[in-house]
Amino acid sequence: MQCSIAKITLSLHLPNFKPFKMKLFLSSFAVLVALGVAQGASIPKNSIQLKNIEVLDGEGKYILGWEINEAGDEIVFEVEAETLGWVGFGISPQGGMTGADIFIGGVLSDGSTYAQDRFGIGRTEPKVDDHSDWRLLEAMELPSMGKTILKFSRLLDTCDDEDYLIGNDTNRLIWAMGDADIIRYHGTTRRGTKSTNLIHADLPELDLDTVQTWPMILDMEMPTVDTSYWCSFHRGPVLSAKHHVVGFNAVLPSAEALQHTHHSILYNCFLPAGSNETLEEVLGNYTVDKGHVGGDCYDPDTILPISYCIMGTFYVWAKGGKTLVFPEDAGYPIGDLPGQQFYMMEIHYDNPDMIEGLKFETGVEFYYTDELRPQEAGIMILGHEVDLSTTVPPNTPSYKDVGHCGSECTNMFPENGINVFNSLLHSHLSGRKMKARHFRGNVELPWLDYDDHYDFDYQQNKPLMTHVNVQRGDHITVECEYDSVWKNGEIVLGGLSTREEMCEDIVWYYPKINVELCTSGYDIDAHIREFGVTAYTETMTPMLRKYYIDAPENLQGDFFDSITYKFNWTEEFRTEYTNRRMYGIHTGACGIRDEVVHYDITYPESFIEYVPPNQCQA
Ligand SMILES: *[C@@H]1O[C@H](CO)[C@@H](O)[C@H](O)[C@H]1NC(C)=O
Ligand SMILES: *[C@@H]1O[C@H](CO)[C@@H](O)[C@H](O)[C@H]1NC(C)=O
Ligand SMILES: *[C@@H]1O[C@H](CO)[C@@H](O)[C@H](O)[C@H]1NC(C)=O
Ligand SMILES: *[C@@H]1O[C@H](CO)[C@@H](O)[C@H](O)[C@H]1NC(C)=O
């Protein structure tokens, strides 16, 4: 993802063309727009009356509707499922059966209804719960259509320690249906899982007829490497004056695009201050419409003009994400410099099976208007640096990494601070929980955002329920909890691959300021030496820096291999190590365009922790 915007330093070389035949860009415009919209999941015809609807099976055989009651304490569900047998629905802490809160119901052939509250205890028939939290409201069968419709409700917080608390973070839903009314978990069961936000701020409406759409698509063969970050250059609209971008979407027109595109980042390209060149001169020959597909973003010998764009993060989409629509009073300015606009797109292709010759289209689009909005929006990256100081110990179910944004950076905010309206929490496959904490002085305020059920496959540009005012001098800490058990004894390093880790909160806010990055990391040299290393070598690779341990002899070798297989992670070391990484002094980075200011930072001193209100104690 962002994946270390500030880290790429590249020199410019003369252009070097690879002739490439491109699909017609402009004539496929209309088709791409249609696909981009369709990507927001079309809902098949159904009878559900509730406000929110989602197709859980992807085919329309299991459709879920839901709505929160006016008092805000109860949620009503309605399921339309293609079966005359039992229908099951549940909410699960990790996406599996274990610990899931499950409701099963149906209609018998004599017309009578049944419903049960169950609790998942693994990949077996869930046991019947002692006390019932779910309430069956309605059940009916439509034999001619082969469908069952169930309406049922549950309190968001049942005040029972054993029940799942439905919060406004990711909810991992599980669903199942049987062919008969006898509940069996083998043979005829159809089932699946899908993540969503049951409680969410309403997406502001955007009428696509009132704005213009600009798609940027790359159509090429996916590189035959495990992880590649591919940079391509695109012409934006030609503008005679400033416009506002008011929304974004990913354009993933095929199953291949959906599967292998792990993130895309759009960057705005600028000329350095005082330049006597034009963007056309420096970028014009590299654009996709001129037949140039771009190249590896991290190739140190690149000839691509990446340096003009890399500081202009504009839009981040990550796997599972949906449309991003700005609040009605905010827009991101483009065309400050009138004329032809240029953008760079970074695509993270994930190809762990090293598939060869797979060609598909992937990209993003933005929606823009000449009706300027009162507020100008900006994007900022918070969290931990993407580097080696993220080292998750082996076989650890829960390890916490933190990244600070301190007052040294927020002091540059405007007098009335900034207002955050959207948040994208980002970590990779080991990420389990994330939280962006907000401090003013030594008092912790409500979290900016959190996710106790982080799902790598469901990353959202989440509109915040209340816009958060971050003032001058405030402090924000992003905390990420990782689980390395699935790596079978291996450590997990910070890095760009999905099997390595990141810890970021990418936020949209207004009014726009020049600060684009506010992160921190533990000092790399101190980090390496704490493992008892006395000598090491650092080399630049196309991706990130690599470290090789030279001494002592018993740890000699590549850092990852040695610290995984040769280093003795004793309990005592783990405890001290974990504490130091979390509470020790970090080096903060405050990034303003092409300049990064460094400072020392840790948590605010003896702060008063924020405790979310608990209705149950009342
Ligand atoms: C642009 O500026 C560079 C130095 O910054 C100078 O060498 C070059 O001649 C200038 N080009 C033009 C067309 O003025
Ligand atoms: C771009 O390509 C054209 C045609 O090949 C060439 O004349 C021009 O010098 C190139 N521009 C740059 C900046 O390399
Ligand atoms: C979740 O809800 C809490 C209060 O209920 C609120 O403070 C927080 O901003 C919400 N989170 C998001 C992402 O909207
Ligand atoms: C690791 O250290 C512990 C505690 O000092 C010791 O008991 C154990 O044998 C060591 N393991 C290895 C593989 O050296």
Q: Which of 324, 348, 375 is where one domain is finished?
A: 375
Task: Please check whether residue 517 lies inside any domain of the structure.
Answer: yes
User: How many Å apart are CA 189 and CA 112, to the nearest integer?
Assistant: 22
Highest mean pLDDT among 14-18, 33-37, 84-88, 305-309: 84-88
Say what the pLDDT of residue 545 is: 82
Which ligand 2 atom is at minimum distance from the Cα of 282?
Answer: 13
Say what the pLDDT of residue 25 is: 25
In this structure, which residue's CA is closest to atom 10 in ligand 2? 285
Say what the pLDDT of residue 185 is: 54
Task: Please check whether residue 202 lies inside any domain of the structure.
Answer: no
- Asked if 354 and 330 sit in the same domain, the reply is yes
Q: How many angstroms is it from 240 CA to the middle of ligand 1?
A: 26
- Asked if 348 and 239 sit in the same domain, the reply is yes
Tell me the Ramachandran region of residue 22: left when phi exceeds 0, alpha when psi lies from -120 to 50, beta otherwise. Answer: beta
- Asked if 364 and 389 sit in the same domain, the reply is no
- Asked if 335 and 398 sit in the same domain, the reply is no
Average pLDDT over residues 423-433: 93
Q: Is 145 in the pocket of ligand 3 (CB under 6 A)?
A: no
Q: How many angstroms is it from 555 CA to the middle of ligand 4?
A: 15
Per-residue pLDDT tens digits for 261-293: 998 999 999 888 788 899 999 999 999 999 999
Say what the pLDDT of residue 26 is: 23
User: How many Å apart are CA 236 and CA 259, to the nearest integer?
Assistant: 27
Say what the pLDDT of residue 478 is: 98
Per-residue pLDDT tens digits for 517-568: 999 999 999 999 999 999 999 987 655 788 999 999 999 999 999 999 999 9
Task: Please check whether residue 256 lies inside any domain of the structure.
Answer: yes
Check residues 342 and 461 and name the one with the higher pLDDT.
342
pLDDT above 50 for 28: no
Amino acid of residue 327? P
Q: Which of 326, 351, 375 is where one domain is finished?
A: 375
Task: Please check whether residue 614 lies inside any domain of the structure.
Answer: no
All residues at 6 or more sequence positions from 232 whose CB lies less than 8 Å from its CB, including other chains:
218, 288, 292, 293, 294, 344, 345, 347
Q: How many angstroms is it from 614 CA to the middle of ligand 3?
A: 14
Check residues 94 and 521 and name the one with the higher pLDDT.
521
Residue with tokens 């790399």: 524
Task: Please check whether residue 308 lies inside any domain of the structure.
Answer: yes
- Asked if 587 and 556 sit in the same domain, the reply is yes
- Asked if 314 and 387 sit in the same domain, the reply is no
pLDDT above 60 for 23: no
Which of 30-44, 356-370, 511-525 bottoms out in mean pLDDT, i.e. has the lowest? 30-44
User: How many Å apart are CA 87 and CA 82, to the nearest integer?
Assistant: 9
Instruction: Give Cα separations from 477 to 460, 501, 503, 586 (angstroms).
Output: 20, 17, 11, 12
pLDDT above 90 for 395: yes
In this structure, which residue's CA is closest to atom 7 in ligand 4? 570
Which ligand 2 atom is at minimum distance from the Cα of 281?
Answer: 13
- Asked if 184 and 287 sit in the same domain, the reply is no
In this structure, which residue's CA is closest to atom 12 in ligand 4? 568
Q: Is 570 in the pocket of ligand 4 (CB under 6 A)?
A: yes
Which ligand 2 atom is at minimum distance from the Cα of 15?
Answer: 14
Ligand 2, pocket residues at CB < 6 Å: 15, 281, 285
- Asked if 509 and 572 sit in the same domain, the reply is yes
Which ligand 3 atom is at minimum distance from the Cα of 448?
Answer: 9
Instruction: Give Cα separations from 77 to 80, 104, 118, 587 (angstroms).
Output: 10, 13, 16, 48
Provide the CATH number for the domain around residue 469: 2.60.120.230
Per the annotation, the verdict on 229 as an active-site residue is yes
Per the annotation, the verdict on 426 as an active-site residue is yes
Q: Is 568 in the pocket of ligand 4 (CB under 6 A)?
A: yes
- Asked if 368 and 447 sit in the same domain, the reply is no
Q: b/e string for 27-54 if b means 16 or more Cβ within 10 A?
A: eeeeebbebbeebeeeeeebebeeebbb
Q: Is 464 in the pocket of ligand 3 (CB under 6 A)?
A: yes
Task: Please check whether residue 613 lies inside any domain of the structure.
Answer: no
Range of the structural domain that residue 479 is part of: 379-601
Q: How many angstroms is it from 282 CA to the middle of ligand 2?
A: 9
| Nearest ligand, CA 273 | 1
DSSP 184-224: -SSSS-EEEEEEE-SS-PPPPP--GGGSEEEEEEEEEEPPS
| Nearest ligand, CA 284 | 2
Q: Which of 163, 196, 229 is where one domain is finished?
A: 196
Exactly one of 426, 428, 453, 527 is catalytic; which is it?
Answer: 426
- Asked if 170 and 99 sit in the same domain, the reply is yes
Average pLDDT over the chain reads 87
Q: Tokens standing for 20?
A: 């490439």
Q: How many angstroms is it from 567 CA to the middle of ligand 4?
A: 10
Q: How many angstroms is it from 118 CA to the middle of ligand 4?
A: 45
- Asked if 257 and 232 sit in the same domain, the reply is yes
Pocket test for ligand 3, best of 424, 437, 464, 470 (most atoms within 8 A of CB): 464
Task: Please check whether residue 88 lies inside any domain of the structure.
Answer: yes
Which of 56-70, 127-141, 448-462, 583-597 bottoms out in mean pLDDT, i.e. has the lowest? 127-141
Q: Is 571 in the pocket of ligand 4 (CB under 6 A)?
A: no
| Nearest ligand, CA 166 | 3
Per-residue pLDDT tens digits for 184-214: 654 457 888 889 999 988 888 888 899 999 9
> Strand, coil or helix: what is 266?
strand
Cα four-point dihedral sign 431, 435, 441, 443: negative
Q: Is 462 in the pocket of ligand 3 (CB under 6 A)?
A: yes
Exactly one of 229, 349, 399, 454 is catalytic; which is it?
Answer: 229
All residues at 6 or more sequence positions from 146 whose CB lies less than 8 Å from its CB, including other chains:
82, 83, 84
Are 358 and 221 a contacting pair, CB within 8 Å? Answer: yes
User: How many Å apart are CA 287 and CA 280, to the nearest integer?
Assistant: 10
Number of domains in the chain: 3
Q: How many angstroms is it from 569 CA to the middle of ligand 4?
A: 8
- Asked if 457 and 507 sit in the same domain, the reply is yes
Instruction: Give Cα separations from 525 to 94, 257, 415, 521 (angstroms).
Output: 36, 40, 37, 11
Decide the pairing of beta strands 515-522 and 378-384.
Answer: parallel
Nearest Cα residue to 105 out of 155, 141, 69: 141
User: How many Å apart are CA 524 and CA 390, to the nearest integer?
Assistant: 10
Provide the CATH number for the domain around residue 270: 2.60.120.310
Task: Please check whether residue 442 lies inside any domain of the structure.
Answer: yes
Say what the pLDDT of residue 98 is: 83
Say what the pLDDT of residue 480 is: 98
